[in-house]
Structure 1
Amino acid sequence: MKTAILLMGHGSRVAEANNALHAVAEMVSAETGCEIVEVSFREMHSPNIQKGIDACVARGAGRIVLYPYFLFAGAHVLEDLPAEMEAATKRCPGLEMVLGKPLGVHPKLGEIVCERIGETVAEAGWELASERAAS
């Protein structure tokens, strides 16, 4: 049975924000080797989650890992996404789905934040290290 990964983002009116999830999907596909990796959005952009699930099924998936590309487990992750799964189950009996955990608090996210702060400080021509030494 084929397993798919469906990355689910919030969706934005800003195209670059939505395009970023497609770039992440390419990374996930390369890293996992998973043949079916699709992208969907909760609101403001298409495809919506139901269409994302349908795309996975159309490509032969019998199981789908629904991954919420959200920082924390808010209302979308705790309420809306399980409701989306329930709707898909009614439409696609026998389809197995599991909801992943959102990004949350993780040391790698801390590293990324520090890297981005470092880039911002460097672009501004500032130095953080000298402030630590001075205090």
Structure 2
Amino acid sequence: MKAILILAHGSREKTTLETLERVTEMTKTQLPEVVIETAYMEFCEVNLEKGLDKLVERGAGEIIVIPYFLFSGVHIREDIPSEIDEYRIKHPDIRISMGSTLGADPRLAGVLADRIREAL
């Protein structure tokens, strides 16, 4: 089974975690056939390894990590790939890849334009 792990930075602020959970639930509604879990790089109990473990426990043999990040900073370029490589060593039978950041997407520009309109 193929599954998705949405990976965010994480925060000490509970509202940040609640926001990702709401976004994830909206995403699951749009993709009901896809198994999706969330995890965080920092400040949260469910880190990347635990998120991957949750999906493996649900029967995933292939996992795509989707970073819920805007930019390709050090977490994207170094930290996440390194942690994925470590996980692969412990679980050689699980295929793991990483998708793209949210980045410069016209759909995000539309959301930003909406926020600007709201503020004007």
For the aligned pair, the TM-score class normalised by the smaller chain equals over 0.9
Structure 1: 4+ residue segments shifted above 3 A: none
Q: Which runs of 5+ in 1 are unaligned?
A: 122-135
Q: Distance in 1 between matches of 2:47 and 2:98?
A: 16
Task: Answer 1 or 2: higher relative contact order, Cα 8 Å, separation at least 6.
Answer: 2
Q: Which runs of 5+ in 2 are unaligned?
A: none
Q: Per-residue displacement from partner, 1:44-97 (whole Å, max 9, x unpaired)?
A: 112011000000000010011100000011100010010111111012111011
One-letter amino acid matched to 1:61: A
Q: Distance in 2 between matches of 1:45 and 1:31?
A: 26
Instruction: Please give the TM-score of this superposition, normalised by the length of structure 1.
Output: 0.85
Q: CA deviation at 1:34?
A: 3.5
Matched, 1:110 2:109: yes
Q: CA deviation at 1:35?
A: 4.0
Identity of counterpart residues, as a percentage?
36
Q: CA RMSD in A?
A: 1.0
One-letter amino acid matched to 1:44: F
Q: How many residues align?
A: 120
Contact 1:5 1:34 (C-alpha < 8 Å) held by counterparts: no
Q: CA deviation at 1:32?
A: 2.0
One-letter amino acid matched to 1:31: Q
Instruction: Please give the TM-score of this superposition, normalised by the length of structure 2.
Output: 0.95
Matched, 1:81 2:80: yes
